[in-house]
Amino acid sequence: MYGQSEMKHERLEDTLRRLKEERDEADRRYNDALTALDQAVMRVPDLPHPPPGYDEHQITPLNQSWDVSAPPAAGGVKGRIAALVWRVMAPSFHKQAAFNSRLVDHLNRNVAAHRESQPAIETTIALVGEQLSALVAFQTRLIQYLQQVTGYIDTKDRATGGQALIVNAAVNGVADELAKRWESMVAREQRFDAKVSALSASLDELRTLVSVSQQASLAMKRELERVGARESATVARSRVSEPAPPVDRLAFTPTLDAYKYVGFEDQFRGSQDVIRERFESYLPYFEGASDVLDVGCGRGEFLDLLKSRGIAARGLDLNHEMVEVCRTRGLDVTEADVVSYLDGVADGSLGGLFAAQVVEHLQPAYLLRFLELACHKLRPGAPIVLETLNPACWVAFFESFIRDITHVWPLHPETLRYLALASGFSRAQIEFRSPVPPQDKLQPIAAPNGSPVADLVETFNANVEKLNARMFTYLDYAVIGAK
């Protein structure tokens, strides 16, 4: 079903208006971007002029006059005086000549480099100018190209405008037709809901009739059992000379000494505070009830909870020590087996029945008798809660069920639910409890992205998930029903 919400669609006028607004906004953004791009076009800057050529005017004179170390060649008195002075100044002139030689050699070596630098700089400046001019020309052409895009697209729109109008008209027609069909569908759904409601009411009536039929069948079965019992007693009295067959105590009898099982509960089931905390979630099912029977009440944890809520209740247990523990706390507890006890109370006298971790201790035939009697003894609408270990969880079966030697028969959740319905209860649902902690489950592994073993890891994790779904689910479950 689609629900009651109405389908919304946009009218053609609204669609065209929205598309125009979107187009105007796109044009504005395009023009702004084009303007910004135009303003960012480069301009060719004024490039520097090449430097002047290398000055070689003094190179030749320097090459001709650098040697100042030659002695004077004059004769006579002047020559002798000059020779005397030369001998004194010669070392200084030789040092000066050496310096002049190195300086002139350095200048001669750099003449060629200086001659080539000026034309190289001139060529470089010219090349940079050409590249900048080419880049400016490219940017200008780019702006011109982008300015033509709008006109090009507009001409395409004119070519397809007629087709777009036709398509829009067709879409609008389809939308109108779809809206009409949707309104028709909503009307049909409402009629369907009305029929479903009527069918649900009929189903409730049928469920009531089935429940009445079940009760009638059970009552007939009980009557036939009474008739058969009277006939058997009559036959037995007619055979006075024959020895009477031994009569066993009713099906359920504990096999451990009472005090030993109290210790077993304390060690393996948990403390009274832990069990009381677990049972608190069952209290809402018994809200407003009275005359509740706690079958297999054990240490009386649930009776304590009922008493704290002001709900009248009494307990039942076969273990003498358990019964004494409860009585010391002022609880109303009877030492008896459940079938014998229920067989002795009036039909419709119980306002609720609670049995936690009990049904797995019963033989199948005894369990069926217990459920049938419970249905007879409960008032119409009274709740019944049957909690037991979940054998579909391997951990619960191997760690808890087989640990307790008084356990007789593991009951699959669907099996116990079926037995409750078959015994006359009008409804019964399964509630899973006590999930296995995540750290106790099998853990998946992680593989780095792109790892060559990624497929293998994925397969392994899928198998881990399957095993967890079978081995590590819920330790307990409860079948919760009503008469």
What is the per-residue pLDDT across 43-58, written as a single tens digit (0 to 9) for each? 878 888 888 877 887 8
pLDDT for 5: 43
Structure tokens at 90: 């010669």
Between CA 10 and CA 175 the distance in angstroms is 8
Structure tokens at 358: 């009990």
Q: What is the pLDDT of residues 120-133, one digit of tens each?
A: 888 888 888 888 88
Q: What is the pLDDT of residues 291-348, one digit of tens each?
A: 999 999 999 999 999 999 999 999 999 989 889 989 999 999 999 999 999 999 999 9
C-beta of residue 307 within 8 angstroms of C-beta of residue 313:
yes
Between CA 359 and CA 356 the distance in angstroms is 8
Structure tokens at 319: 């273990």
Between CA 22 and CA 12 the distance in angstroms is 15
Classify residue 330 as left (phi > 0), alpha (psi -120 to 50) or beta.
left
Between CA 123 and CA 408 the distance in angstroms is 108
Between CA 478 and CA 357 the distance in angstroms is 9
Nearest to 480 by CA among 390, 417, 404, 418: 417
Tell me the pairing of strands 383-389 and 427-435. unpaired
pLDDT for 264: 47
pLDDT for 261: 47
pLDDT for 132: 85
Which one-letter DSSP state was computed for residue 49? P
Between CA 408 and CA 437 the distance in angstroms is 27
The domain made up of 258-482 has a fold known as Rossmann fold (3.40.50)
pLDDT for 74: 65
Sign of CA dihedral 25, 27, 33, 38: negative
Between CA 380 and CA 426 the distance in angstroms is 10
pLDDT for 344: 94
Ranges of the chain whose pLDDT falls below 50: 1-7, 241-264, 266
pLDDT for 260: 47
pLDDT for 356: 95
End-to-end CA distance of the chain: 33
- 308 forms beta bridges with none
Residue 429 three-state SS: strand
Between CA 263 and CA 276 the distance in angstroms is 18
Alpha carbon distances (Å) from 189 to 150, 182, 194: 51, 10, 9
Range list of H helices, 314-363: 320-328, 338-343
Sign of CA dihedral 261, 262, 263, 266: positive
Place of tokens 């084009």: 34
C-beta of residue 348 within 8 angstroms of C-beta of residue 378:
yes
Q: What angle do CA 16, 22, 26 make, to 5 degrees?
A: 140
pLDDT for 50: 80
pLDDT for 88: 79
Between CA 241 and CA 115 the distance in angstroms is 154
Outline which parts of the chain fall under CATH 3.40.50.150.
258-482
Residues in the chain: 483
pTM of the predicted structure, to 2 decimals: 0.48
Between CA 357 and CA 298 the distance in angstroms is 10
**CA 199 from centre of chain:** 38
Which one-letter DSSP state was computed for residue 392? T
Between CA 387 and CA 199 the distance in angstroms is 33
Residue 455 three-state SS: helix
